[in-house]
Amino acid sequence: MTTFRSEFLRTIAERGFLHQCTDPEGLDARLSSGPVVAYIGFDCTADSLHVGSLLPIMLLRHLQKSGHKPIVLMGGGTTRIGDPSGKDEARKMLSEADIARNMEGIQKIFGRFLTFGDGPTDARMVNNADWLDGINYISFLRDFGRHFSVNRMLSFDSVKLRLEREQPLSFLEFNYMILQAYDFLELSRRFGCAMQMGGSDQWGNIVNGVELGRRVDSRDLFGLTAPLMTTASGAKMGKSAQGAVWLNADRLSDWDYWQFWRNTEDADVGRFLKLFTELPLAEIDRLTSLGGAGINDAKKILANEATRLARGEEAATQAADTARRTFEEGELADNLPSIMVPAAELTAGIPAFALFARAGLAASNGEARRLIKGGGAKVNDGPVAGETELITSAHLKDGAVKLSAGKKRHALVKPE
């Protein structure tokens, strides 16, 4: 591994963030000479980011902690087009109101990871609609489009893979990489931004921005990418059996967020501790060397630390306490996910399969039936007699019915 002089590059290399860099030696020298402004862009396709976006957020956090200035670029303009990188089909077109609402939701998460303000290393949030909305199309093509070779654009993975799969690529999406390159140029002009970072699927877009800055303004810009995250079993990071693992608490409970990390595959624990916590590397080495049941202690620490960063100290403490009471002491912890059902409905009785689906422990009634038939469902820690067994108020224990799908997923049913 290359030994870097700058704290930022040294840290991200040691912790597994560094995948590609346009000029490692030049960037290392630049970072060692004083604060550098760098950005990552986030399009506003939903009202929350999920854990698939956590790695770039942690990159920005390490950048700031190393004495540099992060810019969070909100894609108020580019969200209208859609980034074809890694996609098999065009992005759903969103209204202006949808984009504004999504942007408001996304902005909430960054305050937990970054310090914003007007200081030399304080983070800044910018919206690319500020300059993209006012573009004169003909002038833009004349001034900037001439710097892009269609032949080269077709060679980048974001375009090439889509064409090889014979998936439609609209002219609108084809423009995305030009607009992203222009974002970099604008940020360098407005704020002295010298580096763009992102996932490895953004490499072509980032390189275009570096080259545009050099051709148009003779700017010395840098690009850096992190690896795209998959689990040891090959699953895409950011998804669980129940859907996306959202960073915002209004989209996913603190308990479910904590549980996602607690359920990390054994082979991923060390890697995730390096990427998604700030524990010292020596401590991570110690935790990952633990054999047998010790790996579960490492997973709890991963869950605590990752939840503390995204949700706060209180959320992490409560989730860990809920897990301890539920799994180790067999109690009904109030912080478990819960649903309310009309008291009269519970008195009459609800078929087990319907209640499991309703509680979110199965994606559909059919999946709930299969779960029960396979013996993976429990009511109050006991077996379910059959998929149509009626769950009634007689099953209430301390004011709730505990449903379990496997050993790790639970929900409480409470009458209202």
79 close to 43: Cβ distance less than 8 angstroms: yes
Q: Which pLDDT band, with edges at 50, 70 and 90, does 86 fall under?
A: very low
Instruction: Identify the pLDDT of residue 170.
Output: 64
Q: Above 90 in pLDDT, residue 304?
A: yes
Instruction: Identify the pLDDT of residue 211.
Output: 94
Note the pTM of the prediction, 2 decimals: 0.77
59 close to 17: Cβ distance less than 8 angstroms: yes
pLDDT tens-digit map of 348-370: 899 999 999 888 888 889 888 99
Q: Above 50 in pLDDT, residue 88?
A: no
Tokens of 275: 């990427």
CA distances from 290 to 218, 270, 285, 323 (A): 52, 11, 9, 21
27 close to 21: Cβ distance less than 8 angstroms: yes
CA distances from 16 to 227, 276, 340, 341 (A): 8, 11, 43, 46
Instruction: Identify the pLDDT of residue 330.
Output: 53
The total of other beta-carbon atoms located within 10 Å of residue 85's CB is 23
Q: Above 50 in pLDDT, residue 137?
A: yes
406 close to 331: Cβ distance less than 8 angstroms: no
Highest mean pLDDT among 105-109, 188-192, 205-209, 372-376: 188-192
Three-class SS of residue 40? Answer: strand
Region at 358 (left for phi over 0; alpha for psi -120 to 50; beta for the rest): alpha
Torsion of CA 369, 370, 374, 380, to 10 degrees: -40
Mean pLDDT of the residues in the chain: 86
Q: Which residue has the tokens 């209004």?
A: 250
For residues 343 and 321, give the distance between their C-alpha atoms in angstroms, rounded to a whole number: 29
Degrees, nearest 5: CA angle 236-239-244: 140
Instruction: Identify the pLDDT of residue 294.
Output: 85
For residues 138 and 405, give the distance between their C-alpha atoms in angstroms, rounded to a whole number: 58
For residues 270 and 264, give the distance between their C-alpha atoms in angstroms, rounded to a whole number: 10
Q: Which residue has the tokens 């942690």?
A: 58
50 close to 255: Cβ distance less than 8 angstroms: no
Q: Which pLDDT band, with edges at 50, 70 and 90, does 142 fall under?
A: confident
pLDDT tens-digit map of 321-343: 888 876 665 555 556 777 888 88
